């Protein structure tokens, strides 16, 4: 079968490899679609630091069950399934508490939890092996269009679920960047909260998409964006801000517009930072702001995302590429030419 391998710094290759063998609790998934993520680009350009060269890329995968290991119950050949982005142990204290994305066994302070395509072989291949407990059935959803739900859906869902107490009717939520994750986050906010939604992006096409998806206000991300958000809220600021980029200008913008006791969620890995002081010696953040750097999500988040998609309230804007054109897809993503999510189709 063919698989896209990260073979060295800045280099991916399409290779012919054996179809993987199954263990007793494994499922062989015939991949229907594999989404491309900015974190794939992040890893691609990390240099020699990356510890997993030789692995198959792709942490957003969906497809059909092809065969099952001897101990697997509940899945049959042909079932459409979505592969979880977080492969937690399922048994540790954090997992049992429903915080599988903070698994004590498969994650640590220094490392994100085990994720397919960022360690174990991922979805950019004709087949992938997944433990049955990391799969959810998606029924009639098209698995090509559903693949991005695994990360671009689940990650915003998790960030939004962590800020629900600030997303009451009458609140203001800001989505910074209407890309792969942002366009999903916007729909989740629309479908599940009463917040007024402000979308900010520097690309007119993406702001147009934001309007179509139900943003109440769209703003160009220029030097006046922060003041405009403050003006919209009588100077109070936004109750929740979701930064899906995380570069310095967006991190600065987020800190400038967050309200007292607001929820600030950094989802993009852009490397921006800000100064945090425990007193009022710097005015970076108002009182009481709660900051989280968000990683992936839980099985519960994934089930919620699938449910919203099945209700027609969460749709992925998908741009399809044949697996063999993976380089073109990554180049387009890097150049900002992808509206919504690029998906490789084996």
* Footprint on this chain of Zn ion (rule: CB under 5 A): 37, 39, 88-89, 92, 95, 103, 105, 151
Strand partners, 198: 174, 217
Q: Which residues contact 126 (CB under 8 A, 6 or more apart)?
A: 1, 2, 3, 19, 30, 31, 323, 346
Q: What is the dihedral of CA 3, 4, 6, 10, to 10 degrees?
A: 160
Query: Given the complex with Zn ion, which of 121 and 239 has the nearer CB atom?
Result: 121
Structure tokens at 278: 């425990």
CB of 195 to Zn ion, least distance (A): 24
CB of 205 to Zn ion, least distance (A): 22
CB of 300 to Zn ion, least distance (A): 14
Query: Given the complex with Zn ion, which of 114 and 284 has the nearer CB atom?
Result: 114
Query: Given the complex with Zn ion, which of 92 and 291 has the nearer CB atom?
Result: 92
CB of 51 to Zn ion, least distance (A): 18
CB of 95 to Zn ion, least distance (A): 3
Query: Given the complex with Zn ion, which of 147 and 289 has the nearer CB atom?
Result: 147
Strand partners, 27: 68, 130
Query: Given the complex with Zn ion, which of 65 and 159 has the nearer CB atom?
Result: 159
CB of 124 to Zn ion, least distance (A): 13
| 313: exposed, middle or buried (Cβ count in 10 Å: 0-12, 13-18, 19+) | middle
Query: Given the complex with Zn ion, which of 153 and 346 has the nearer CB atom?
Result: 153
CA distance 23 to 69: 6
CA distance 231 to 228: 5
CA distance 339 to 317: 7
Q: Please report the DSSP string for 64-111 in residue order.
A: EEEEE-TT--S--TT-EEEE-S----SSSHHHHTT-GGG-SSS--SSS
């Amino acid at each position: 079968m063919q698989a896209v391998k990260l073979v060295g710094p800045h280099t991916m290759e399409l290779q012919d490899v054996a179809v993987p063998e199954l263990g007793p609790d494994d499922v062989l998934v015939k991949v229907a679609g594999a989404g491309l993520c900015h974190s794939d680009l992040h890893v691609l350009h990390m240099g020699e630091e990356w510890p997993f060269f030789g692995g198959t890329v792709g942490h957003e995968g969906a497809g059909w069950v092809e065969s099952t290991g001897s101990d697997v119950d509940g899945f049959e050949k042909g079932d459409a399934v979505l592969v979880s982005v977080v492969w937690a142990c399922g048994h540790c204290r954090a997992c049992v508490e429903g915080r599988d994305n903070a698994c004590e066994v498969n994650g640590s302070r220094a490392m994100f939890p085990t994720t397919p395509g960022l360690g174990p072989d991922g979805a950019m291949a004709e087949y992938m092996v997944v433990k049955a407990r990391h799969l959810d059935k998606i029924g009639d959803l098209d698995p090509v269009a559903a693949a991005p739900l695994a990360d671009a859906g689940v990650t915003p869902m998790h960030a939004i679920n962590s800020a629900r107490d600030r997303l009451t009717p009458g609140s203001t939520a800001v989505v910074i960047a209407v890309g792969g994750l942002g366009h999903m986050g916007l729909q989740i906010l629309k479908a599940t909260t009463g917040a007024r939604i402000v979308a900010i992006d520097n690309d007119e096409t993406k702001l147009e998409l934001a309007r179509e998806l139900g943003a109440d206000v769209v703003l160009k991300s220029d030097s006046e964006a922060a003041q405009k958000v403050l003006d919209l809220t009588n100077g109070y600021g936004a109750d929740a801000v979701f930064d899906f980029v995380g570069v310095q200008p967006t991190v600065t913008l987020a800190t400038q517009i967050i309200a007292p006791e607001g929820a600030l969620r950094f989802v993009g890995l852009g490397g921006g930072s800000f100064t945090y002081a425990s007193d009022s010696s710097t005015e970076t953040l108002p009182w009481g702001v709660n900051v989280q750097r968000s990683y992936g999500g839980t099985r519960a988040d994934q089930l919620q995302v699938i449910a919203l998609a099945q209700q027609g309230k969460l749709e992925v804007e998908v741009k399809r590429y044949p697996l063999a054109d993976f380089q073109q897809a990554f180049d387009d993503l890097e150049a900002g030419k992808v509206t919504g999510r690029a998906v490789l189709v084996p």
